Amino acid sequence: MESIDVYNYSCVEIYANDGIYRFDLDFSLSGFLLPDNVLRQIFFLLDGSDMETINELRLMTKAARLYFENDMRQSEIADRLGISQATVSRLINSARKEGIIRISVNIPKGVNTELEEQLIQKFGLKEAIVADCTNESEDDNQRILLREIGSAAAHYVETVIKNNDVVGISSWSETLVALVDMMQQVPGKSGVKIVQILGGVGNPTAEIHANRLTGRLASLVNGTPYFLPAPGIVGSQAAYNVIMNDKYVKETTEMFGDITMALVGIGPLQPARLLTSSGNIFSQEELKILRGVGATGNILLHFFDANGKQVDHAINSRVVSMGLDQLKQVDRAVAVAAGRDKHEAILAALKGKWINVLITDHVTADFLISSD
């Protein structure tokens, strides 16, 4: 005989002078009529450690097939094979290491788990969700972007919200409006508080959006809303001091330290449409000053530079909102932000580690991953 090979750990193939012989490893080789010299050669090759290895591989394969193909529990496999459950577990783990078991995940279209993992690893996030948005015309793309981002963020909130959570939500954010619009009723929740963390008073035609965010989210999770009855930006330090001492403002701001999940947007230096319509914006002169000190983006109207460092300017002392240092302490600080105009601001926010969960679109994710 010239050689003996094992195929898929289930058969032996023997090359002899008078032909090729194949045997299933479950069969006894002694039951086959072959020349004595061939039989002796076979038994010699399968004796000792080689035989033990083949037997172990056969048992691994059998246990793996029963577990993965027949959907049998490990306890059932143990009874079937007459071995302990611990041995079954060891065999299955060994089968993985030997390459007998190969597990593959077929990723559906529109699911971007690889991008999400890369964002988590690069920026030290707790979670990242990347929505797949179709590239259409600019106007169509903006509508699709808000819809897809809102849907992804809504599903996230529906999934992770727990009883007795204290959820902070910003005002004047189109992506958060989309989130609330896409959310379904979350049954079975109790003790949830929804806290407005950026002043929600502004132009009456826009103010309805800010209050609706807080009130609607509270109704969807059977929670209690707590509004922040103040503008997001006040005119002077003196006005800020008066407002912050208001009974109802204090009732809400004192809850900031209890927040377990915060939902915020990330904005560029130039204010977005909804924020502009609210009247809670800085003047062009003030924006020029902020640009001059390196401001790149903002969260809750607190500005930071390209490295994520908060801009130190007196303007900050006129903002009625949760502070960035407070936001950083929240267990789940969730930013819902997307779009090319926000790329640099989102990157800066991640560098500053102001948030630890990001929900964005795949174009923004690609930009963030390729950035320095």
Residue bearing tokens 């407070």: 326
Predicted structure pTM score? 0.74
Beta-carbon neighbour count of residue 184 at 10 Å? 9
Candidate from 62-66, 295-299, 311-315, 324-328 with smallest mean pLDDT: 311-315
Please give the Cα distance from 357 to 355 (Å, whole number): 6
Please give the Cα distance from 172 to 202 (Å, whole number): 10
* Phi, then psi, of 138 in degrees rounded to 5: -60, -45
pLDDT digits (tens, 9 = 90+) for 94-141: 888 888 887 766 666 667 888 999 999 999 999 999 998 765 445 457
DSSP string computed for 35-100: -HHHHHHHHHHHSHHHHHHHHHHHHHHHHHHHHHTS---HHHHHHHHTS-HHHHHHHHHHHHHHTS
Please give the Cα distance from 63 to 89 (Å, whole number): 9
Percent of the chain with pLDDT over 90: 52
> What are the structural domains of the chain?
3-98 (1.10.10.60), 113-370 (3.40.50.1360)
Largest CA-CA distance found in the chain, in angstroms, rounded: 106
Q: What is the mean pLDDT of residues 168-180?
A: 90
* pLDDT at residue 29 is higher than 50: no
Q: What is the mean pLDDT of residues 318-323?
A: 93
